[in-house]
């Protein structure tokens, strides 16, 4: 079972309703999916709950995986959809964002707590879409094409979001320099 590649495991899980084959897929990719959701939510408990929901959704929709992209790319797209759906339902996510000083419109919140790490400060200046794309690119290592498929965006938009994200980082660092200087 552990020697089989991801697509073989998907085929086995779909054709035989093999929960063990799917379990092997979960074991292989849980770290990346949970890391993605932890960075999106900035709340480990919430992220792990969402990851669990995402894998259960993935099990239900496994037959829709066309096999064209990587399995992890597809799993991350399911995780992103689960995240968006849960955020619409709950106010918990909004509370967490407020704690890390993020404005949903992407405007920088000037007063941040000292205990917030560099990554949180960086993520705080990005819009939700920019954050998802940057995380998928730099944390999960997906290609632009895979990010486009996961976030349901054209490749050109993905590239421009990454460009914009980097620009925001430069701007925020400049603000920091002025404050220090």
Does residue 163 interact with another protein by CB under 8 A?
no
Residue range at the interface with another protein (CB under 8 A); choices 76-84, 88-96, 142-150, 169-177: 169-177
Residue 147 C-beta: closest distance to another protein, Å: 13
Of 7 and 176, which CB lies nearer to another protein in the complex structure?
176
Q: Quick check: 84 binds another protein (CB under 8 A)?
A: no
Using CB under 8 A, which of 4, 11, 14, 26 touches another protein?
A: 26
Least spacing, CB of residue 165 vs another protein, in Å: 9
Q: From the list 55, 65, 74, 83, which residue makes contact with another protein (rule: CB under 8 A)?
A: 55
Residue 104 CA to residue 144 CA, distance in Å, equals: 24
Taking the mean position of all CA atoms in its chain, how far away is CA 27?
A: 18
Query: What is the torsional sign of CA 106, 137, 49, 79?
Result: positive
Kindly state the smallest distance separating residue 9's Cβ from another protein, in Å: 12
| Minimum distance, C-beta of residue 169 to another protein, in the bound complex (Å) | 8
Residue with tokens 């086995």: 12
Cβ contact 34:51 at 8 Å: yes
3-class secondary-structure state, position 125:
coil
Which one of the spans 54-62, 72-80, 82-90, 96-104 is the region binding another protein (CB under 8 A)?
54-62
Cα 140 from Cα 74, distance rounded (Å): 12
Should residue 171 be labelled a site residue for another protein when binding is judged by CB under 8 A?
Answer: yes
SS (H, E, C) 35-52: HHHHHHHCCHHHHHHHHH
């Amino acid at each position: 079972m552990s020697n089989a590649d991801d697509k073989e495991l998907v085929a086995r899980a779909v054709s035989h309703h093999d929960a063990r084959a799917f379990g092997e897929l979960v074991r292989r990719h849980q770290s990346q999916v949970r890391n993605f959701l932890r960075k999106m939510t900035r709340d480990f408990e919430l992220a792990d709950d969402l990851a669990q929901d995402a894998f259960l959704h993935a099990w239900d929709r496994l037959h829709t995986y066309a096999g064209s992209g990587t399995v992890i790319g597809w799993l991350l797209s399911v995780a992103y959809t689960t995240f968006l759906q849960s955020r619409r339902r709950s106010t918990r996510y909004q509370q967490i964002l407020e704690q890390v000083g993020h404005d949903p419109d992407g405007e920088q919140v000037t007063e941040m707590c000292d205990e917030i790490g560099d990554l949180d400060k960086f993520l705080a200046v990005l819009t939700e879409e920019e954050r998802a794309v940057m995380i998928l690119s730099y944390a999960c290592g997906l290609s632009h094409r895979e990010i486009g498929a996961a976030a349901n965006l054209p490749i050109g938009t993905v590239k421009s979001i990454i460009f914009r994200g980097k620009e925001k980082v430069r701007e925020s660092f400049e603000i920091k320099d002025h404050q220090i200087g």
